[in-house]
């Protein structure tokens, strides 16, 4: 091979190496997603109920990603779902207090403007009585401070939240509760 052929071969190898290196960098950067502080709650049924599951809270910048997976619900029904002010699930979760509301707002839907920080979308159970929810929230945090959900509780109710009746949306008895703890 002459000198010109060697230069072409080397140039081809360098280009191929650059493409492979570039692909490796791109693949790695898209596979890694940064995670912030997180907390979770293990939902346990209140007396006479079967609802149970998990809820995770992950801080991602100015938002908290909420993921819930709950089973043992009334099939094909909606259920109120809220963060409550106290981290106490005794007394059939009545000890959890009212909805978490550090701003002193009226109860309402997250889609309608004013609402408690603890007002979350209703859980929608499928035919097997299982509900999953993925929700981004900006009204509370996982980090320390007055808007933190850590040390509070998350509650599932028997009926859907109507987002109108004050102070709790007429969502009925508390059928599951879990204390939110930092991971």
Instruction: Cite the active site residues.
Output: 82, 84, 99, 107, 116, 119, 157, 174
Q: Are 67 and 133 in contact (CB under 8 A)?
A: yes
**Alpha-carbon gap, residue 104 to 107, rounded angstroms:** 9
Q: Are 177 and 86 in contact (CB under 8 A)?
A: no
Q: Are 27 and 130 in contact (CB under 8 A)?
A: no
β-bridge pairing 181-182 and 38-45:
antiparallel
Helix (H, G, I), strand (E, B), or coil: what is residue 26? helix
Is there a cis peptide before residue 111, judged by omega within 30 degrees of 0?
no
């Amino acid at each position: 091979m002459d000198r010109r052929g060697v230069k072409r071969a080397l140039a081809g190898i360098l280009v191929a190496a650059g493409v492979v290196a570039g692909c490796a960098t791109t693949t790695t950067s898209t596979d890694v997603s940064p995670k912030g502080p997180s907390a979770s709650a293990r939902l346990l049924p209140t007396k006479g109920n079967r609802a149970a599951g998990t809820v995770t809270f992950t801080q991602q910048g100015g938002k908290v990603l909420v993921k819930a997976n709950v089973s043992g619900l009334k099939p094909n029904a909606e259920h109120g779902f809220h963060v409550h002010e106290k981290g106490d699930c005794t007394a059939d979760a009545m000890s959890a207090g009212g909805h978490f509301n550090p701003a002193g707002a009226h109860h309402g839907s997250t889609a309608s403007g004013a609402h408690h920080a603890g007002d979350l979308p209703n859980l929608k159970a499928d035919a097997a009585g299982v509900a999953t929810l993925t929700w981004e929230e900006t009204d509370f945090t996982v980090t320390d401070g007055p808007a933190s959900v850590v040390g509070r509780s998350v509650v599932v109710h028997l009926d859907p939240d109507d987002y109108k009746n004050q102070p709790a949306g007429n969502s009925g008895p508390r059928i599951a509760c879990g204390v939110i703890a930092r991971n």
